[in-house]
Amino acid sequence: MLRTINELVAEERALRSRATQHLGLADDEQQRLRSVEVRLDQCWDLLRQRRAKSEFGENPDEAAVRPAGEVEGYQG
């Protein structure tokens, strides 16, 4: 899980860097950036679920990826 998160963070940084260096991204790059952002939110959510289940004596393998619309609606 952490490896996936690190890979997504690296891709997000690369896309954001390219956006600032070239004053924008192509449509497909913008879509990819949004996809990476959503996937990162889902991964972080899953990791938090797993840690919480473990902390409270539940099986962390029962945690599940939540839909994008659900994790994108969270308020921090």
How confident is the model at residue 23, as a pLDDT? 76
Q: Where are the domains of the chain?
A: 2-72
Say if residue 74's pLDDT is above 80. Answer: no
How confident is the model at residue 2, as a pLDDT? 84
DSSP string, 42-58: HHHHHHHHHHHHHHTTS
pLDDT digits (tens, 9 = 90+) for 39-57: 999 999 999 999 999 999 9
Give the closest residue to 15 by CA, choosing from 1, 39, 31: 31
How confident is the model at residue 75, as a pLDDT? 60
pLDDT digits (tens, 9 = 90+) for 12-32: 999 999 888 877 899 999 999
The pTM of the whole model exceeds 0.95: no
